[in-house]
Structure 1
């Protein structure tokens, strides 16, 4: 913003109309890195020590289960690199994904005396932990850098790679949040070795989302190797690297041109139209990816009924969901819950449905005309299909 004038400042208010309105226009360049980094806790690997800033002190916020499994290695890593480290151990699951957890992190940041620019906070855990830490860092001194090290599959392929932070508020999922990408996200599939099968399936739901809406090759990989990847926790002879790389690449490819969500038609919202309401009402029964899969199963049937997906394709999608040990049906897919979910989604998407639907396998479109009767009919058909396969 600039103005050129030879008139003394006091003269601005002596002739003509006084200046009483200004337009400020600026741009905030955003650059962040996402990198696969094997053996991230190996003392010879400098990636974590150098992530986001030169070597210095580090506050590491670590999820309590991760601390139990890896706490000694985390401390050993920073000791070997000659860096001062303090660990903040935090429980992290949907029921404590609230501002209270954000305040706990902010309190530890304040006590540690985190530098405003040169001591990025490190978040090590799943999606909930990274969302909480990211929100705390976005608020602390209005912007404090942080580094994400996802330790779950859903964190590695979804929650760890975007710009959003958020916590739940009342009955609503992620209702409070910011856009505050981590300076660096380091992805190490070795953490998946200690993940149980259910949480691997949970993460594979988000991989399947990318496959169904934009990457048929990824769907074929999941169909052929998904069961083995769960059994081997991505550590065995079945190659899982392409699955992970394609999932992350597909996610970032969609996020990058619309990082702040100025455009509300988002293909990565697939599976996230009904699932937020279903997930919150089912707590603690359903994991996030399980709720997303229920949403995708329902919308696959809905798309087939519209002629967007062939019946054989629908059956194949549901079969892959079963292979990945994901649920196809839940009693909360009832008329009332689904109507409430759609209404909340319309509010979230600025008064329109902007509803992503699959077109075949590996492509998608958006709908604005889905009716409650259509949803109820698709849910009834899905229940029949799910029960027939048992």
Structure 2
């Protein structure tokens, strides 16, 4: 039987008195991805890349593959043969990429490629194949598109394989500042094939070595000794060879880098020893003429920081000079005309903003260890520049 209920009276319908409203949200999102060294990655018999792409040879899969144009020229045929073998229907986006292309506009080119393809939000992975600039750019675009689509990193440069390609940071340059726009967005995986390094020129290899020197100076004295012992044998083929001394150097550098990144993925702690060489270098990298590669700018920053560390007594003079010699022997610069006191002070001020109001300047001391400074004075910067000039003049006299 249907029942008709009389409406509530106005008194009965009155809501209770409002109390101050507050809700607490407590959530977390786990991060799971692997970083693997995989020789012969593009050999059709090697299933690793296909597995990361979800390919089985039984069910065709669609993937957007974003590849650096230089990499495509060298490895495009092998890449297409591999994807065809594993029945992965690749949509190709080939890009001209260098630091000048690391912009929001170029990230949107990748977004538009996803849109044209009709990329499914959770199951169709974007594959980024190239150097650190490309993997940063692709990761940033993937973090934006539909608030996040999965992507796989296949770094092809030494810089990408031991540094830029193995964390969760993405970013683009904006307004004359390096990586001013960015996100923390983990890849689905990272596959490192040192075989790609055989096709690099020596300058781009040296570029990556700068980040290995960084880890040695602030974290791993044994790695520093290994670099001193192998510095004369760093040709492209040597880096690509499995099982050699440089393979051990690479693995140790990756291990050290991840040991610092994993406990602090979202940089809640801003005193980061892996920021050594990255306080003054962003300004130099964007202002130097002719253009410096990222690792070259980091090398100049590290050289200045060695002057700061010796000036404070964190390093002995012998240790500081020994480190400078290693940087130079690795084909990296220690000075640049743009690196003057005004630019250094400007760069330090930007770093203070980035590090939440403190300098948090990492300096080596002693070799293989790190200290943080929050009270650096302008005269110390001037003294460090003078220290480098004196070192350069003394080495030129000795070689004359």
Q: What residue in structure 1 maps to residue 46 of structure 2?
A: 45
Q: How does 1:310-329 map to 2 (within 5 A)?
A: 310-329=316-335
Deviation for aligned residue 1:388: 2.8
Q: Which runs of 5+ in 2 are unaligned?
A: 1-11
1:271 and 2:277 aligned: yes
Contact kept in structure 2, 1:225 and 1:238, CA below 8 Å:
no
Q: Which of 193, 211, 216 pairs up with 1:211?
A: 216
What is the distance in 1 between the residues matched to 2:14 and 2:171?
A: 46
Closer, same or farther: CA 231–178 of 1 in aligned 2, 3 Å? closer
What is the distance in 1 between the residues matched to 2:132 and 2:165?
A: 7
Q: What residue in structure 1 maps to residue 388 of structure 2?
A: 382
Q: Which 4+ stretches in 1 moved above 2 angstroms?
A: 11-21, 52-55, 230-233, 235-239, 386-390
Deviation for aligned residue 1:54: 5.1
Q: What residue in structure 2 maps to residue 288 of structure 1?
A: 294
Closer, same or farther: CA 380–13 of 1 in aligned 2, 3 Å? farther
What TM-score results when the alignment is normalised by the length of structure 1? 0.94
Match of 2:267, SS state, is coil
Closer, same or farther: CA 162–231 of 1 in aligned 2, 3 Å? closer
Match of 2:114, SS state, is helix
Q: Which of 365, 373, 376 pairs up with 2:379?
A: 373
Deviation for aligned residue 1:284: 5.2
What is the distance in 2 between the residues matched to 1:243 and 1:187?
A: 14
Contact kept in structure 2, 1:328 and 1:386, CA below 8 Å:
no
What is the distance in 2 between the residues matched to 1:374 and 1:228?
A: 36
Q: How does 1:97-176 map to 2 (within 5 A)?
A: 97-176=102-181
What is the distance in 1 between the residues matched to 2:13 and 2:284?
A: 59
Contact kept in structure 2, 1:293 and 1:327, CA below 8 Å:
yes
Match of 1:95, SS state, is helix
What TM-score results when the alignment is normalised by the length of structure 2? 0.92
Contact kept in structure 2, 1:105 and 1:133, CA below 8 Å:
yes
RMSD between superposed Cα atoms in Å: 1.6
What is the distance in 1 between the residues matched to 2:270 and 2:317?
A: 29
Q: What residue in structure 1 maps to residue 193 of structure 2?
A: 188
Contact kept in structure 1, 2:314 and 2:365, CA below 8 Å:
yes
Contact kept in structure 2, 1:197 and 1:230, CA below 8 Å:
yes
Q: Which of 335, 339, 345 pairs up with 1:333?
A: 339
What is the distance in 1 between the residues matched to 2:231 and 2:188?
A: 31
